[in-house]
Amino acid sequence: MQVTVTINGEERSAEVEPRTLLVHFIRDDLDLTGTHWGCDTSNCGACVVLVDGEPVKSCTMLAATAAGHEISTVEGMADGAELDPVQQGFIECHGLQCGFCTPGMMLAARALLNRNPDPSEVEIREAIAGQICRCTGYSNIIRAVRWAAAHEATTTTQGA
Amino acid sequence: MSTVEPPPTIGYGPMKRKEDPRFVRGQGRYVDDLKLPGMLHGAALRSPVAHARIVSIDTTAAAAHPKVKAVITGADLEGLGLAWMPTMSADTQAVLATDKVRFQGQEVAFVVAEDRYSARDALELIEVEYEELPAVVNARTALDAGVPVIRDDQEGRSDNRIFDWEAGDAAEADRVFDAADVIVERDMIYPRCHPAPLETCGAVAQMDPVMGQLTLWTTTQAPHAHRTVYALVAGLPEHKIRIIAGDIGGGFGNKVPVYPGYVCAIVGSILTGKPVKWVEDRAENLMSTGFARDYVMRGQICAKDGKITGLRVHVIADHGAFNATAQPTKYPAGFFHIFSGSYDLEAAHCHVTGVYTNKAPGGVAYRCSFRVTEAAYLVERMVDALALELKTDPAELRLKNFIRPEQFPYPSKTGWVYDSGDYEKAMRLAMEIAGYDELRAEQAEKRARGELMGIGISFFTETVGAGPRKDMDILGLAMNDGADLRVHPTGKAVLGISAMSQGQGHETTYAQIVSEELGLPSADIEVVNGDTDRTPYGLGTYGSRGTPVSGAATALVARKVRERARLIAAGMLEAAPDDLEWERGRWFVKGDPEQSKTIQEIAMAAHGAGDLPEGVEGMLEDTCVYNPPNLTFPFGAYICVVDIDPGTAKVQVRRFIAVDDCGVRINPMIVDGQIHGGLAEGIGIALMELIAFDEQGNCLGGSFMDYLIPTSIEVPAWELGATVTPSPHHPIGAKGVGESPTVGSPPAIVNAIIDALHETHGVDRIDMPCTPSRVWEAMQGNATPPQ
Ligand code: FES
Ligand code: FES
């Protein structure tokens, strides 16, 4: 079947089997390999993307179900050379090591900041609770999200 | 908004990582990201049972699937001489089962198809008839009479024993125990757990039949060692094999062994003439690849006048169906004989028996230097058990028994020579950060209110950085590492190392080592790792070998280049080499610092047209192989505070204080990050992670729904401290740190749980993982060990 989605603002189509998972569609058919996968049971969150702005485990959704929706992946976070503050925060605060969980973590963080620009430590912990990082022990991910929140707050004030 | 560019980072310090920009953009190059023209996909059929004779395999229907290109069985591999491969412990392991299956999840057949879904569809079409045999699941009874022999493929074998090994002086230990006034004994299990990196294992194999060249992109922590194994297995010369590890999504020891899937991908590529990708799913990763620990231990500790005098241990080590541990040949129980820990004992002795069972092969070091984790757990549990018996504060007991700073280098009773340490300083710092006395007061108050709070301590000493070639090898290969450094005319440099990052940030840290030694900005130094065509030989990154071995090679090669630069600078400055002095980044004439040449100027001159001093070769490059004279001995003091819900028995780690001494710190930001990650894994091991089996040998930990990994909710905000006691024999005084937190944290957590429950519930022992149900059972007075 033909599946068409808007991904990172661009309309993309591919011919896939009806059973194709969204994560495989994104990686294998659209060649956007920044979205990872790490489990068979929807536990790890390495595959998190935003569907219409909400974090979704893309291994838990069929490509067909995503047809016609807006998808954001890690490849769409930066604006050219300009990184999203969440991306910058992960670099500044050593929020990543192997980088495998990182795209999913950053997208969950992006969605959190979009609805709550000033999240507390506990709110950040809850927002990423469905995702596993095997490397960082989470503290620096939380600091990274706080860094992004603080940075966005300053840029907004400066811009106003 | 204008930003001021910060000055370039030179040398050590908390520098941001060079690898991060590609990762935050989703531009990492993990093996499953690779797509080659015409690439096919492989999938493995696995045994549903733990122990069975294979009666027949019918692949007709699978082979007839329209998208299938090849179906491979053990019989096919036998024809090629590839049905068995050597393990890192010089045992053999079936690539695809021929005679029997020996654990649930063992590879039986391999399908190569046009896409990954079709490959898995075709697995369902393969018919295998099994004649089931009784499974040997319990290591404690694996040596009993009448138990089936698992490895009947080995000629003359009549039981399931792999090895018996001991260290220390048994007679001397007996004498010390006889003279003691208190002896405490504990049975404990370090249960089977799994490194479970977030990226599973996989490979893309491409065999070029014309050139006879094999390229393998693969998840390996030890690219060069793997290449040698493939050369041995396939009979290909090493220069015709190129291993590329790319980016690796975590390893933690899981990516040290060679797995059957890699070999099958290679065979698939040979048979089809196309590149073949094989990437395991999570169930395959947890059920079939290198597990860790699985030590059943009986420890005895004795003391006289409050001084610890002796330690004795008996261990039954469950290695699964094939002995696929990856540890130095001479040490079948790894470095378990560091179990006398941080204490100045009179005698110590251990006896370890390794056995085969019908479980997945391995015994890899999950974020651990070859069984140091099991050793640290044993001694730190035993010291706490003694403290309970003596009714002494566990911190006091430790402080009283530590090896003292002036005793270093300290020859241990089991044959190690500890390089350096100041244990009391680290312990007191941890107690200060924790507010130890206040915590004890809080605990007493809470206890009076019926609340359960525990404070647990562990003080560990590790032995890492294997190792000296006179003592250590894997498969006959010396455990040394190489480094190649090439400084280009414009002062930009490339460093090739045999270590392989799995997230540790080698591209940053190793650049900083060169930067410190040569004064080039770190940004100007590119570090290459994980490509056997572009890096020197060496055994890779595991067992905290990175900084102790490869880091040393890096510092030494940079010093060699610096000496070459001195000769060239002497020519440029028309001075004698001995009259020059080094200041980071330049050679200058002693007493006349204006007369100097920067390393960049020297690099250009080294490649330039002018004459060089007599006997000096052009260019600015060198190579080095580092053979460590001794291991390094990082240590640390950890304090854990837990709260236990009296109604549900759920343990929450409220605080975790970690003081680590890993010698000189190259990049403190990365060091702290390593500690954070290892502490989280330690919490996982202590509270959640378990690969269990039922009586038939069915694996009960084959998914992330059953094998539980800590999330952001289960871990606290870490509280770190540091002391720095340089290693006297390491070129930069560094000791290695990646594994300390996983080694040190589980005993602190378990000690905290016992501390919380001892006075009120009489609990004096409990085994990991301390899940609510297990803690509840202990609170009711019937703690059960894991299966
Ligand atoms: S791949 Fe693990 S949750 Fe999607
Ligand atoms: S950085 Fe490796 S899993 Fe998160």
Instruction: Evaluate if residue A158 carries a pLDDT over 70.
Output: no
Q: Which of B93, B104, B221, B674 is catalytic?
A: B221
Determine, for residues A135 and B250 on separate chains, whether the beta-carbon distance falls below 8 Å. Answer: yes
pLDDT more than 90, % of chain B = 94
| Domain-ending residue, one of A58, A76, A94 | A76
Q: List the alpha helices (DSSP H) in B537-667.
A: 552-573, 599-607
A116 and A71 within one domain: no
pLDDT above 90: residue B481: yes
Please, where are the H alpha helices in B574-667? Answer: 599-607
Query: What are B277's strand-pairing partners?
Result: B41, B204
Our mutation pick for probing the ligand 1 site, out of A22, A24, A47, counting the most ligand atoms within 8 A of Cβ, is A47
Q: pLDDT band at A79, cuts 50/70/90? A: very high
Residue B233 clears pLDDT 90, i.e. is over it = no
Cβ contacts of A43 on chain B, cutoff 8 Å: 703-705
Residues contacting ligand 2 via CB (< 6 Å): A 96-102, 133-136; B 198, 250, 503
B367 catalytic per annotation = yes
Hey, what amino acid is at B386?
L
Token digits of residue B482? 């190489």
Spatial distance between the Cα atoms of B104 and B482, rounded to a whole number of angstroms = 39
For the CA atoms of B776, B779, B783, B787, the dihedral, rounded to the nearest 10 degrees, stands at 10
Residues B271-287 pLDDT 10s = 999 999 999 999 999 99
Distance CA B677, CA B680 (A): 5
Residue A121: CATH number of its domain: 1.10.150.120
Out of A76, A103, A124, pick the residue that ends a domain. A76
Interface touch A38/B199, C-beta < 8 Å:
yes
| Nearest-angstrom CA–CA distance, B462 and B341 | 8
Question: What total number of domains does chain A contain?
Answer: 2
- Residue B384 CA to residue B746 CA, distance in Å, equals 13
Three-state DSSP at B101 gives: strand
One domain, residues A32 and A91: no
Q: Does position B7 have pLDDT exceeding 80, yes or no? A: no
Residue A91 and residue A46 share a domain? no
Residue B562 catalytic? no
Measured in Å, residue A42 CA sits from the centre of ligand 1 at 4
Residue B517 to residue B10: CA distance in whole angstroms: 9
pTM over 0.80: yes
DSSP summary character for residue B327: -
Q: Are residues A72 and A17 in the same domain?
A: yes
Q: How far is the CA of B370 from the centre of ligand 2 (A)?
A: 23
Q: How many angstroms from the chain centroid is the CA of residue A49?
A: 4
Do A116 and A69 sit in the same domain of this protein? Answer: no
When pLDDT is cut at 50, 70 and 90, the band that residue B235 belongs to is: confident
Predicted pLDDT of residue A159 = 45
SS (H, E, C) B251-264: CCCCCCCCCHHHHH
Q: Do B703 and A73 touch (CB under 8 A)?
A: no
CA dihedral B82, B84, B87, B90 (to 10 degrees): -110
**Which residues in chain B have Cβ-Cβ distances shorter than 8 Å to A100?**
28, 30, 197-199, 249-250, 503
CA-based nearest residue in chain B for residue A143:
B717
Q: Round to whole Å and give the CA distance between B329 and B463.
A: 16
DSSP state for residue B84 in the 8-state scheme: E
Pairing of strands B347-355, B307-318: parallel
How far apart are alpha carbons B308 and B382 in whole angstroms?
11
| Residue A155 pLDDT grade (very low, low, confident, very high; cuts 50, 70, 90) | confident
Q: With an 8 Å Cβ cutoff, are B503 and A98 in contact?
A: yes
φ, ψ for residue B403 (rounded to 5)? -65, 135
Q: What is the pLDDT of residue B586?
A: 98
Q: What is the mean pLDDT of residues B241-265?
A: 97
Token pair of B579, please?
């009259």
- Average pLDDT score over residue span B213-231: 96
Q: Label residue A84 by pLDDT band (50, 70, 90).
A: very high
Q: Of B681, B739, B770, B774, which one is the catalytic site residue?
A: B739
Q: Looking at the structure, do residues A90 and A113 belong to the same domain, yes or no?
A: yes
Using a 6 Å cutoff on CB, does residue A45 contact ligand 1? yes
Taking all residues of chain B, what is their mean pLDDT, rounded to a whole number? 96
Q: Is the pLDDT of residue B638 over 80?
A: yes
- Among B572, B710, B719, smallest CA distance to B659 is for B719
Q: What is the pLDDT of residue A98?
A: 98
Residue B9, chain A, CB below 8 Å: the answer is: no
In a mutational test of the B interface, the residue from A16, A37, A39, A92 whose CB has the highest number of chain B CBs within 10 Å is: A39
Assess whether A123 and A148 both reside in one domain: yes
The answer, for B702 touching chain A at a CB cutoff of 8 Å, is no
CATH code for the domain in which residue A64 is found: 3.10.20.30
Ligand nearest to the CA of B281: 1
Task: Look up B17 and say whether it is catalytic.
Answer: no
- Do residues A6 and A69 both lie within one domain? yes
Q: Looking at the structure, tell me whether residues A54 and A92 fall in a common domain.
A: no
Q: Which tens digit of pLDDT belongs to each residue from A22-76?
A: 999 999 999 999 999 999 999 999 999 999 999 999 999 999 999 999 999 999 9
CA distance B35 to B134: 43
- Please give, rounded to a whole number of angstroms, the shortest distance from the CA of B504 to a CA of chain A: 6
Residue B2's pLDDT band (cuts 50, 70, 90): very low
Amino acid B785: pLDDT: 63
Give the 3-state secondary structure of residue B636: strand
Q: Are the beta carbons of A36 and B30 separated by less than 8 Å?
A: yes
Give the integer Cα–Cα distance in Å for B687 and B773: 11
B24 and A CB contact within 8 Å = yes
Same domain, A57 and A119: no
Q: Is A55 in the pocket of ligand 1 (CB under 6 A)?
A: no
- Partner-chain contact B33 A121, CB within 8 Å: no
On whether both A70 and A98 belong to a single domain, the answer is no
Structure tokens at B221: 């922590």
Question: Could you tell me the pLDDT band of residue B482, with boundaries at 50, 70 and 90?
Answer: very high
> Which residue has the least CA distance to atom 4 on ligand 2?
A133
pLDDT band at B470; cut points 50, 70, 90: very high
Average pLDDT rounded to a whole number, residues B79-95: 94
Angle at B402 between CA B727 and CA B415, to 5 degrees: 60
Which range marks the domain in which residue A138 is found? 85-159
Establish whether B368 is a catalytic residue. Answer: yes
- Looking at residue B1, its pLDDT comes to 38
Q: Is the pLDDT higher at B8 or at B450?
A: B450
Among A48, A76, A104, identify where a domain stops.
Answer: A76
Q: How far apart are CA B296 and CA B308, in angstroms?
A: 23
For B655, the enclosing helix (H) or strand (E) is strand B651-661
Mutate which: A98, A138, A157, vs B, most B CBs within 10 A: A98
A10/A29 same-domain check: yes
pLDDT per residue as tens digits for the range B692-750:
999 999 999 999 999 999 999 999 999 999 999 999 999 999 999 999 999 999 999 99
- Contacts made by residues B611-615, CB under 8 angstroms, sequence distance 24+: B611/B571, B612/B568, B612/B571, B613/B567, B613/B568, B613/B570, B613/B571
Catalytic residue among B302, B368, B640, B770: B368
Atom in ligand 2 nearest the alpha carbon of residue A46? 3
Instruction: Give the model's confidence band at B76: pLDDT under 50 very low, under 70 low, under 90 confident, else very high.
Output: very high
One-letter amino acid at A118 equals: D
- Of B690, B735, B727, nearest to B709 by C-alpha is B690
Distance A23 CA to ligand 1 centre (A): 9
Q: Which residues of B touch A133 (CB under 8 A)?
A: 198, 680
pLDDT category of residue B42 using cuts at 50, 70 and 90: very high
Query: Is B676 close to A32, i.e. CB distance below 8 A?
Result: no
Q: Is A61 in the pocket of ligand 1 (CB under 6 A)?
A: no
For the record, the structure tokens of B7 come out as: 């000055």
Distance of CA B411 from the midpoint of ligand 2 (Å): 39
- What per-residue confidence (pLDDT) applies to B543? 86
Shortest Cα–Cα distance, B523 to chain A (Å): 15
Between B28, B198, B681, which is nearest A38 by CB? B198
Task: Flag whether pLDDT at B3 surpasses 60.
Answer: no
Q: Which pLDDT band, with edges at 50, 70 and 90, does B327 fall under? A: confident
* A102 CA → ligand 2 middle, Å: 6
In this prediction, residue A42 carries a pLDDT of 97
Do residues B343 and B401 touch, judged by C-beta distance below 8 A? yes
Give B571-581 pLDDT, tens digit per residue. 999 999 999 99
Q: Is the CB of residue A59 below 6 angstroms from any atom belonging to ligand 1?
A: yes
Structure letter (DSSP) for residue B531: B
Nearest to B602 by CA among B617, B587, B622, B615: B587
User: Nearest bound ligand to CA A137?
Assistant: 2
- 3-class DSSP assignment, residue B117: helix
Q: Ligand 2 pocket check: which of B198, B681, B711, B715 to mutate, most ligand atoms within 8 Å of Cβ?
A: B198
* Res. B485: pLDDT tops 70: yes
Residue nearest to atom 1 of ligand 1 (CA): A37
Q: Do the strands B161-168 and B620-626 form a parallel or antiparallel pair, or are they unpaired?
A: unpaired
CB pairs under 8 A between A and B: 177
Residue of chain A with shortest Cα separation from B673: A136
Q: Is the peptide bond before B409 cis (omega within 30 degrees of 0)?
A: yes
Which residue, by CA, sits nearest to atom 3 of ligand 1? A42
Q: Rounded CA gap, A105 and A111, in Å?
A: 10
